[in-house]
A = this chain, B = another copy of it.
């Protein structure tokens, strides 16, 4: 059997650590230790005048406060950028970064630079003082494509806007790419087979996974962008396969 691991699961945009509830229970039932922090700028009433670095700092602080080591640090969706930056601060605590349907941002890019133009056009229509929250239609059709409308409405109903700067701050990721290039931190990429949050092709997951280098371990899993909601048992198993040595 696999040795017990310490999983830290980082939610995607507009959500909180609560999104991992069922996956965390599955992982714990296999003997693993699981943390599901909610990052700064997320959740009801969160401030919207934060920078990308503030979200990263809240994650790093969580890892230090809980004195965690040998961490399998999992980032969903835009949290790919938060775990990459966090790894720069506490590389010695992290064994492996797992990107789940996640953005692997190019050095010097902002998150928004990684989105396809037809989606950033939607960003542009939003009021920056209100933060960013994607419209329901896009969430429903692209991220909840395998769900009933009522379930998509439940997910969307719990969402809250996040700071605009999370998407627009340019990110210096040189240390991150050195850490994974040198093999000091290992990486895995998990692609749910029905995930079309980004269109297949030029912006597809394959190109993102390739940025993580020739030793990135890639795995498919059932479900779509919110596999943690629709397929928690299968996702927990894939996370174990992605995170083990």
Interface residues of A (CB under 8 A from B): 2, 116, 118-119, 122, 137-138, 141-142, 145-146, 148-149, 183, 186, 193-194, 196, 199-201, 204, 206-207, 209-210, 213-220, 241, 244-245
Contacts and interface: CB of A to CB of B under 8 A. Distances in A.
Given A145-B217, A148-B2, A201 B193 contact: no
Contacts of A241: 146
A150 to B, nearest CB: 9
Contacts of A183: 137
A146 B219 contact: yes
B201 A206 contact: yes
Nearest to A135: B215
B206 A141 contact: no
A213 B199 CA distance: 9
A211 to B, nearest CB: 10
A168 B215 CA distance: 23
Nearest to A240: B148
A137 B199 CA distance: 31
Contacts of A116: 214
Contact of A215 (B141, B148, B213, B245): B141
B194 A201 contact: no
Nearest to A191: B200
30 contacts: A116-B214, A118-B213, A118-B214, A119-B214, A137-B183, A137-B215, A138-B214, A141-B186, A141-B216, A141-B217, A142-B214, A142-B215, A142-B217, A145-B217, A145-B219, A146-B241, A149-B244, A149-B245, A193-B193, A193-B220, A196-B218, A199-B206, A199-B209, A199-B210, A199-B214, A200-B210, A200-B218, A201-B206, A201-B207, A201-B210
